[in-house]
Amino acid sequence: MRQFVTDCVPDNRGLIELGDKDFKYIRQVLRLKPGDMIKVAFKNGQTADTTLAKVDDRQKKIILQVCQTQGNVSDNDSCAGESKQAGCQFVLLQFIPKPQKMELIIRQAVEAGVWQVIPVIGEYTQKGSEKSLCAKTGSGSSGRVERIDRIIKEARQQSGSPIDTKVTQPMLLPAALDYIKELCSEKSAEDKSVLRLALYEKTDGSATMHQAIAKCGQEKIALGIMAVGCEGGISPDELEKLKAADFIPLHFDINILRCETASLYGMACMQNAVMECEQWQLKE
């Protein structure tokens, strides 16, 4: 089911007033009429079923009514939409490709329910690509920030993903590995396992998905991290740094994939393998 993502919060009557681009999306894209229902996702992670209560075509305003069974939603409420906390959270460590490809990768990651995308400035990253992405996610260009935010919002609305995907600032690999170490330490404190994989085009020293999953033992996998190279892949030096940070080189014995295809394919394979592992653990 498609959903609508908004920064707005219902008032004490459970009403949400929308205008401008939101009006255009609901009326012209979704083509909703008064009385129609739509699922709304809020920035705090909660979701609610709402009814299109009123449409003002002249002032281009829409009022949504939160269904009574949902109650009101406030910024202080616990995150009902954080079903991701109960299962595995997925992180994409993406070495930065050309800008257009990176935007596609972000869109696909959001649709796939990835929790965080970490852009990495790698050895094979083109300088123009690096500067472009820095402008898009940095504070120096609000227009660029809005573009990434819009890509995330549109992808969530299209896919219905309950996960508010975050794109971090671009980092060099050492900084990205330090950041990941912090994420992993939180899971380790909860006695949960972390799966770290790096897609690699060579078979030497690489493992299959099932071999990598088996190394996690019987522990519940709480965090799945996939490192994917840009055009040209991951350099040998970068791979050694990833291996030193407990990443397992993973090789798919299939056709050669473009980086934007590899990120989606690799993430999908990891998600499916983790879900299968969870099902096996439940049966046992």
For 52-119, give the secondary structure using H, E and C: EEEEECCCCEEEEEECCCCCCCCCCCCCCCCHHHCCCEEEEEEECCCHHHHHHHHHHHHHCCCCEEEE
pLDDT of residue 190: 61
Strands 248-250 and 116-121, sheet pairing: unpaired
Specify whether the CB–CB gap between 102 and 134 falls below 8 A: no
The alpha carbon dihedral of 26, 28, 32, 37 has a sign of: negative
The predicted pLDDT at position 107 comes to 96
pLDDT tens series, the chain, 284 aa: 568 888 888 998 899 999 888 888 888 888 888 988 888 988 777 888 899 999 998 889 999 999 865 444 544 443 334 444 458 999 999 999 998 999 999 999 999 999 999 999 999 998 877 666 665 555 555 556 678 888 999 999 888 888 989 999 899 999 999 999 999 887 765 657 899 999 998 888 888 888 888 887 767 889 999 999 999 899 999 999 999 999 999 998 888 899 999 999 999 999 999 988 877 665 55
Q: What is the pTM of this model?
A: 0.79
Residue 250 token pair = 């993973």
Rounded to an integer, what distance in angstroms lies between the CA atom of residue 209 and that of residue 249?
10
pLDDT digits (tens, 9 = 90+) for 124-161: 998 877 666 665 555 555 556 678 888 999 999 888 88
Q: How far apart are CA 90 and CA 228, in angstroms?
A: 13
Contact between 233 and 201 (Cβ < 8 Å): yes
Contacts of 255 (CB under 8 A, 6+ apart): none
